[in-house]
């Protein structure tokens, strides 16, 4: 049970960004959303939470609770940009990053030379220095516990849950802190006399399964600190490509290269939009008689932007055109996260 999972959750994310960008708002109750009477609150600064304001509260109610609060419209573009920067920091440590929301991610750092606690502290410090924001961070040996840990001392929290302290920390918590337990399941558990995680951990498994089915088994495991869900990065495409048929079959290398450049720039843009880079470039040619060939080249570093065209061109230049071409295509594969510094390279640089 290695401590290799980190969970990070930014504090009062939207509100903290607005306070950062407008120092007059620091220390004040700031409410994002709820600018129109019919809306709901997206989030509230910790100062505003003292008045009982929280996410998803109707604006009307928030205004009654805190009439002198500063109510702002959300600026989603800005929050997305911050989220992207956070992701770039995370990807310097591992490519096993699973975002749950704009401001929240799991990291599996098992493969890094530093240990998870060092990494978690470093990331927390960097978020403070580079983004002027605070995150709450949890470190543990599975996802459920890492998330509980990050939530434990919010805001600006740092918490480690290890096999040695797990019971002491999670046993006193209410059952709604178990992953996936909403009001309905909470009620069922309460009706069984189970109010705290300790009660679930020490209950009879067959009774839980009897009342809750497979979910009962899962909750029993969680209550005992067990969770075997992997940190799984979002699925990325296997390859991205573009191809075009010429209006007229052609053997004119200049025309073909111009077409290749346009296709490559579209592929590069598509890749960049997804924050990806590639290590393999493939050129596909279809001759006028419909015979088709493809040639690939693989690199041991990440290619982006114009590098993709240059790689494609290099491949194309080596091909002897037997006949007129009907179609040309370029595709990229072996896709990598653009911001992920490969560990090997990283280690070599250091050594
Ligand atoms: P949260 O992490 O749930 O909340 P938070 O970051 O504002 O506060 P904290 O983590 O310190 O408790 O959500 C992140 C952002 O997502 C939040 O700033 C605003 C947005 N959000 C909504 O727009 N509507 C919602 O109902 C929730 C819960 C969040
Ligand atoms: Mg948050």
Ligand 1 midpoint to CA 104 (Å): 9
Q: Which residues contact residue 207 at a Cβ distance below 8 angstroms, ignoring those fewer than 6 apart? A: 192, 216
pLDDT at residue 347 greater than cutoff 50: no
Q: Report the candidate in 74, 46, 79, 47 with the shortest Cα–Cα distance to residue 59.
A: 74
CA dist 105 and 231 (Å) reads 9
What is the pLDDT, as a whole number, of residue 275? 87
Mean pLDDT within 198-202: 98
Residue 151 has pLDDT above 50, yes or no: yes
What mean pLDDT do residues 98-119 have?
A: 96
Q: What would the DSSP string read from start to end of 273-320?
A: HTTEEEEEEEEEEEETTS-EEEEEEEEEEEE-THHHHHHHHHHHHT--
* pLDDT at site 35: 84
Confidence of residue 341 (pLDDT cuts 50, 70, 90): low
In this prediction, residues 126-149 reach a mean pLDDT of: 98
pLDDT in tens, 312-331: 999 999 999 989 999 999 99
Q: 104 CB less than 6 Å from ligand 1? A: yes
Which residues face 336 on adjacent strands? 277
pLDDT tens digits for 271-306?
A: 998 889 999 999 999 999 999 999 999 999 999 999
Q: Which residue has the tokens 């060939």?
A: 293
SS3 150: helix
Give backbone dihedrals phi and psi of 184, rounded to 5 degrees, phi first: -65, -50
Q: Relative to the alpha carbon of 151, which ligand is closest?
A: 1
- pLDDT value of position 343: 47
48 phi and psi angles, rounded to 5 deg: -75, -25
Ligand 1 nearest-atom number relative to CA 103: 14
**pLDDT classification of 340: cutoffs 50, 70, 90:** confident
Residue 301 phi/psi, 5° resolution?
-145, 170
Pocket-testing residue among 14, 53, 55, ligand 1, by greatest number of atoms within 8 A of Cβ: 55
Q: Which protein residues have their CB within 5 A of the ion that is ligand 2?
A: 9-10, 13, 103
**Range in 176-190, 295-309, 335-349 the model is least confident about:** 335-349
| Position 34 confidence tier, pLDDT thresholds 50, 70, 90 | confident
Nearest to 302 by CA among 346, 338, 274: 338
**Tokens linked to 222:** 């969680």
Q: Is the CB of 14 under 6 A from ligand 1?
A: yes
Q: Are 179 and 222 in contact (CB under 8 A)?
A: yes
Is there a contact between 327 and 245 (Cβ–Cβ < 8 Å)? yes
How many Å apart are CA 214 and CA 180, to the nearest integer?
13
Per-residue confidence band for 94, with pLDDT thresholds at 50, 70 and 90 = very high
């Amino acid at each position: 049970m290695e401590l290799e999972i980190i969970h990070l959750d930014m504090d009062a994310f939207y509100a903290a960004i607005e306070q950062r960008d407008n120092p007059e708002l620091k220390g004040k109750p700031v409410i994002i959303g709820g600018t129109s009477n019919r809306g709901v609150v997206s989030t509230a600064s910790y100062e505003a939470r003292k008045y009982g304001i929280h996410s998803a509260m109707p604006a009307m109610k928030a205004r009654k609770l805190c009439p002198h609060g500063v109510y702002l419209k959300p600026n989603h573009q800005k929050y997305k940009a911050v989220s992207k920067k956070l992701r770039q920091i995370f990807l310097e440590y591992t490519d096993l990053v699973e975002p749950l929301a704009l401001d929240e991610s799991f990291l599996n750092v098992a493969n890094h030379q530093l240990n998870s606690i060092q990494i978690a502290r470093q990331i927390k410090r960097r978020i403070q220095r580079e983004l002027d924001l605070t995150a709450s961070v949890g470190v543990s040996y599975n996802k459920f516990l890492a998330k509980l840990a990050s939530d434990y001392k919010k805001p600006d929290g740092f918490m480690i849950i290890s096999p040695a302290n797990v019971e002491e920390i999670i046993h006193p918590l209410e059952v709604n802190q178990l992953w996936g337990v909403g009001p309905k399941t909470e009620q069922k558990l309460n009706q069984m006399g189970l109010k705290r995680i300790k009660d679930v951990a020490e209950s009879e498994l067959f009774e839980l399964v009897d009342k809750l089915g497979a979910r009962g088994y899962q909750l029993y495991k969680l209550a005992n600190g067990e969770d075997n869900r992997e940190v799984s990065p979002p699925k990325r495409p296997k390859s991205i490509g573009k191809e075009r048929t010429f209006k007229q079959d052609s053997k004119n290398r200049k025309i073909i290269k111009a077409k290749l450049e346009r296709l490559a720039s579209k592929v590069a843009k598509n890749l960049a939009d997804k924050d990806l880079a590639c290590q393999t470039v493939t050129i596909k040619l279809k001759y006028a008689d419909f015979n088709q060939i493809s040639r690939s080249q693989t690199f041991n570093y990440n290619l982006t932007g114009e590098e993709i065209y240059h790689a494609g061109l290099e491949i194309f230049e080596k091909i002897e055109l037997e006949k007129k071409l009907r179609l040309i295509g370029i595709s990229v594969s072996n896709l990598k996260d653009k911001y992920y510094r490969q560990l090997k390279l990283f280690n070599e640089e250091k050594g």
